[in-house]
Structure 1
Amino acid sequence: MAPYLLTAGVSLLAKSFSVLSCTGSLARCTSVLPSAFFSPVKCLTSEARSPPKRPLNGYMRYVQQQKPIVARQNPEIKAVDLIKTIAQQWRSMSPEQKQPFQEASLRAREQFKVDLERYQAQLTPAQLQQQAQEKRQRRAKRKAIRKKRELTNLGKPKRPRSPFNIFMSEHFEEAKGITSQAKMKSLLEDWRNLFSHQKKVYTQLAEDDKIRYKNEMKSWEDHMVEIGREDLIREQTLSIKKRAAKAKKVTKKAKTVKKATGTSKPSKKTTKSRSAKTVSPPSTKKT
């Protein structure tokens, strides 16, 4: 047993000496090689740092300051009521009380401009172009959301539903699956397995919904014309209205011109009597 322990100890000691010699050689190599070889993260990351965040305005700075204070004073207050309370406090403050928050916002805005210029200076043309495209997409998305909200507030009718949408709304509660996505997948499979006469019921309901949408849209667009919001009317409706108005205008103009000149088409009886008077039979004199 003793020779075995002696042999194991010698081998362990030899391994430790080999490790120490390797680390010593590595240390000697690091003293010769430049430091860039031992900072691969800094050397290989060519991506620009994240863009600076936009600064908060004076009101939002006040909200951030007052949130923990109001929440501590009212532990059971809801988040919506908390914001309402802080907003009421801000409205009741004097300009002198608001001034520190607004000045801090101005200073942060100036610093943001400097940081943004510094950030954009290190971007490549491709990255700048990508940022501009993303900015346009975000602006278009915000514009679409605002327009949809405005149309909802103005009472625009909901679009007609498809046969499958009507089927899904009727059977969504008892559909298989836990998540909404799983339920929709199950309902889609059930819809595909329906017979044609079963689908016909939902197809007829969808056709009725189209008629409902058409009538409601006509009334809504007429109301939009009355309140001066022609910009919200569909293009096809505008083109139909323009053609009708143009035809009406042309007809009215033609009637005015005809009345001014006093020319009108003679009736059939008048033309027949005139032709009978002008054309006389040849005279037959006896010699």
Structure 2
Amino acid sequence: MAPFGLMTAGASWLAKSFSVFSSTSTLARCTSVLQATYITPVKCLTSQASGPPKRPLNGYLRFVIQQQPVITRHYPEIKSVDIIRKIAQQWRTLTAEQKKPFEEASRQAREQFKVDLQRYQALLTPAQLQQQIQERRQRLAKRRTIVKKRELTSLGKPKRGRTPLNIYISEHFEEARGLTTQEKMKSMVQDWRSLTSHQKQIYTQLAEDDKIRYKNEIRSWEDHMVEIGREDLVREKILPTKKKPATKAKAKTIKKGTKKGTKKVALKTVKKATAKKPTTSRKLTKG
């Protein structure tokens, strides 16, 4: 079965490709590549015997895997992204009868996937099943985080202020020691630690300025989010408070408590006064 990376890449390229190749000349050139001799019988891509079964590809991605070497042979000079775009254009020009072999293979693979999944889950222990559920929740949470981050980016949310170390790395990354990015980052962190406080002062001041920039931009951005009805993206501390009835009720209870407290104090003083009166009267009678 095709690796998951290819499947995700094909899906993302598909989303980008629908806005490309609108001219008739390009369409004619793309459709000429797809001929009857290039459409080979579609194999049913099954999952691996060991480990959890992988989800099958849909009809379009099966078509991509089949046509990619064909387009590469005809257009060896173009990039991989353009190859996928050409394949997407071909897929849109296919008739329902031409798409049927790919969709039928996908349907058979889905049925086989259900059988393989049941067989695999029957061999798992309860602890392994629980671990799979936890991993699935983590993947979904990560996916939701990515989706939310993309949404915030599309809405123009300003970037957070950079730290002094971030500013130092961005300015000296090119001349850093090391071949890979990880080696360069490690060497720059070591160089940052060896700097004196006076040398770090300029980056600290730049970080403070960037922090002020972020505060101003995030305030105006959140005001705009409130205007367009996206209060869910705004921090709670700038939203209008709606706890006035609760505060009034709390104030009433405090007043009642203070009244009860004063009453208790008054009762205690009366009791003390009454308790001392007999002693004074006894002293007077003795005298």
| TM-score, length basis structure 1 | 0.64
Among all aligned residue pairs of Structure 1 and Structure 2, give the percentage whose two residues are the same amino acid.
71
In structure 2, the partner of 1:186 is: 187
Larger radius of gyration: 1
Task: State the alpha-carbon separation in 2 of the partners of residues 185 and 78 from structure 1.
Answer: 34
Structure 1 counterpart of 2:215: 214
The letter for the 2-side match of 1:200 is: Q
Number of aligned residues: 197
The structure-2 alpha-carbon separation of the partners of 1:49 and 1:205, relative to structure 1 and needing over 3 Å to count, comes to same
Q: Which amino acid aligns with 2:78?
A: I
**Is the contact between residue 51 and residue 116 of structure 1 (CA under 8 Å) also seen in structure 2?**
yes
**Aligned position for 1:92:** 93
TM-score using structure 2 length: 0.64
Question: 8 Å contact 1:224–1:232 — kept in the other structure?
Answer: yes
Please name the residue that 1:264 is paired with: none
**1:153 and 2:151 correspond:** no
SS at match of 1:242: coil
Residue equivalent to 1:141: 142
Report the counterpart of residue 37 of structure 1 in structure 2: none
Alignment of 1:11-22 (within 5 A): none
Q: Provide Cα deviations, 1:90-122, integer angstroms capped at 9, x if missing partner.
A: 112222322222222111111110110011101
Written as runs of structure 1 = structure 2, the 5 A alignment for 1:12-51 is 49-51=50-52
CA contact (8 A) 1:120 1:128 kept: yes
- Give the match's secondary structure for 2:239: helix
Q: CA RMSD in A?
A: 2.1
Q: Is the 8 A contact 1:224 1:233 kept in 2?
A: yes
Alpha-carbon distance in structure 2 between the residues aligned to 1:155 and 1:213: 13
Aligned-partner residue type, residue 145 of structure 1: I
CA spacing shift, 1:69–1:173, aligned 2, 3 Å: closer
Q: Deviations 1:132-162 (Å, cap 9, x if unpaired)?
A: 1111111111111122122112211111111
Unaligned runs of 5+ in 1: 1-47, 251-287
Q: Report which structure shows greater RCO (CA 8 Å, sep ≥6).
A: 2
Q: Which amino acid is 1:153 matched to?
A: S
- Mapped partners of 1:161, 1:113: distance in 2: 49
The SS at the match of 1:173 is coil
Q: What's 1:73 paired with?
A: 74
Conserved 8 A contact 1:49-1:119 = no
1:102-181 to 2 correspondences below 5 Å: 102-181=103-182
Q: Which residue of 2 aligns with 1:29?
A: none
Quote the Cα distance in structure 1 between the aligned partners of 2:183 and 2:196: 23
CA distance in 1, matches of 2:115, 2:124: 15
Per-residue Cα deviation, 1:188-219 (whole angstroms, up to 9, x for no partner): 22222222222222111111111100111112
Give 1:162's aligned amino acid. Answer: T
Deviant stretches of 4+, over 6 Å? none
